[in-house]
């Protein structure tokens, strides 16, 4: 396969939905690898991918999971890399992350943390921090600009709002049947709702997550370009050539 799809996965942004879909339709660990723990004793890492034979790596169509980073790219010198990322409104993501965390802990028989404790411990700008790290960009004053410039170049950048319409294109590119419906992880069904995003809470979270808010706004902009590229919406006509051209 010419292309290798790197699917970056920030927690609670639709990554599990994609992973589950791949798992239903592809040979796990042969056609795709999901890094991280999932249901294993020990989590898979970049080193595990590096340990594969060239033939095994050639067979891979995608690598997904929280640890996915650009460190993987040198392992696939003959492949064209297509990067995919879905992000989510920061307050909604944060609340979902908390609910998920509580449910997981309770399932393990542990005490669920108070929201304030979770908030104090968790990086308010997790999407930004994680993507900077995964893309190998400096967490420096110029880092955020570099991150947005990199996102602008990715093959598929969108918010979870577009997951339903873009996933068939992703799966089609991966050689899967795009008609197979997604099954998502909805809070209230498999995940217990410990807290709901009230307007006040949303404001509070967003005021702490300034970079993630800006990242999300930029993602919404790039999402329009992604949707236009796949013919889902019409490409917006830029009037730029008429003005400000030196």
Partner 1 sequence: MRIRHVIPTVGPSASAGLREAQELTLRSVRTALHCTEEGIDVEVRAVHFPDEPLDCDWVTDCPILDRSVLDITEFEVPRRLPLLFDVLAGLGDSSQYDVAVFTNADIAVQPLFYELIAELHDDGHDAASVTRRTVHPRFRGSSMARLMTADSSPHPGHDCFSMTADIVDRLETSNVALGTRWVARSLLWQLQLTAKKFRHFGDLHATLHVGDDRPWVDPQFAEYERHNAAATKELVRALVERYGTSPVERLQSIQPFLAAIATDSPVNARRADARPRPYGSPAFAGLEPRMIFSANPGRSGSAFLASLLGASPSISSGHEREPKMVGPWARRIAFEPASASYDERLIKADAVRAELAQIPSHWAYADSSHMFIKTFADVIFDEFQHERLNVVVLRRDPIDVARSMFNLDYLGPLPAAWEDWLLPPTAPESAFPLDPEDIVDQFDLIFGYLVDIENRTDRFRTLAPAVTWIDAWLEHLASRDGALQLFERLDVPTPDDLDDILADQPNRKTQRKSHLGQPVPRSLVQKRLTRFLDRHRDRPDLQLFIENNGLDGL
User: What separation in angstroms does the CA of 82 have from each of 20, 73, 146?
Assistant: 20, 10, 18
Contact between 198 and partner 1 per CB under 8 A: yes
Contact between 213 and partner 1 per CB under 8 A: yes
Using CB under 8 A as the binding rule, the residues of this chain from 89 to 148 that contact partner 1 are 141-142, 144-146, 148
Q: Which two tokens stand for residue 142?
A: 């110029």
- Candidates 211, 223, 227, 230; binder of partner 1 (CB under 8 A) is 211
**Count of beta carbons in the 10 Å neighbourhood of residue 67:** 22
Tokens 């947005």 label which residue? 148
Contact between 222 and partner 1 per CB under 8 A: yes
Residue with Cβ nearer partner 1 (214 or 232): 214
Residue with Cβ nearer partner 1 (64 or 219): 219
Stretch that binds partner 1, among 1-9, 39-47, 180-188, 230-238 (CB under 8 A): 230-238
Taking the complex as a whole, how short is the minimal distance between the CB of residue 161 and partner 1, in angstroms?
11
Output Rg (C-alpha) for the chain, integer angstroms. Answer: 19
Q: For the chain, what's the residue count?
A: 246
Contact between 152 and partner 1 per CB under 8 A: yes
Helix boundaries (H) for 143-242: 143-153, 163-173, 199-208, 210-229
Residue with Cβ nearer partner 1 (191 or 218): 218
Taking the complex as a whole, how short is the minimal distance between the CB of residue 241 and partner 1, in angstroms?
5
Total number of residues that touch partner 1 (CB under 8 A): 34
Helix boundaries (H) for the chain: 15-25, 46-50, 54-59, 90-107, 115-121, 126-134, 143-153, 163-173, 199-208, 210-229
Q: CA-to-CA distance for 172 and 4, rounded, in angstroms?
A: 13
- Candidates 210, 227, 231, 232; binder of partner 1 (CB under 8 A) is 210
Give the footprint of partner 1 on this chain (CB under 8 A): 141-142, 144-146, 148-149, 152, 198-200, 202-203, 206-207, 210-211, 213-214, 217-218, 220-222, 225, 236-238, 240-241, 243-246
């Amino acid at each position: 396969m010419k292309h290798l799809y790197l699917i970056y996965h920030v927690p609670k942004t639709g990554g599990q939905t994609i992973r589950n879909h791949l798992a239903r339709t592809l040979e796990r660990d042969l056609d795709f690898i999901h890094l991280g723990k999932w249901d294993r004793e020990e989590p898979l890492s970049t080193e595990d991918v590096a340990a594969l034979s060239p033939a095994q790596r050639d067979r891979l169509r995608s690598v997904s999971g929280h640890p996915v980073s650009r460190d993987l790219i040198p392992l696939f010198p003959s492949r064209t890399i297509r990067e995919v990322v879905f992000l989510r409104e920061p307050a909604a993501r944060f609340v979902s992350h908390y609910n998920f965390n509580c449910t997981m802990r309770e399932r393990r028989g542990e005490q669920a943390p108070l929201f304030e404790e979770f908030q104090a411990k968790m990086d308010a700008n997790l999407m930004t921090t994680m993507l900077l790290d995964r893309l190998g960009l400096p967490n420096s004053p110029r880092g955020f600009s570099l991150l947005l410039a990199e996102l602008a170049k990715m093959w598929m950048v969108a918010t979870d709002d577009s997951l339903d319409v873009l996933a068939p294109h992703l799966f089609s590119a991966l050689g899967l049947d795009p008609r197979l419906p997604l099954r998502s992880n909805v809070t209230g069904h498999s995940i217990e709702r410990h807290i709901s995003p009230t307007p006040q809470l949303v404001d509070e979270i967003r005021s702490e997550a300034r970079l993630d808010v800006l990242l999300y706004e930029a993602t919404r902009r790039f999402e329009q370009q992604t949707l236009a590229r796949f013919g889902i919406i019409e490409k917006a006509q830029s009037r730029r050539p008429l003005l400000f051209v030196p």
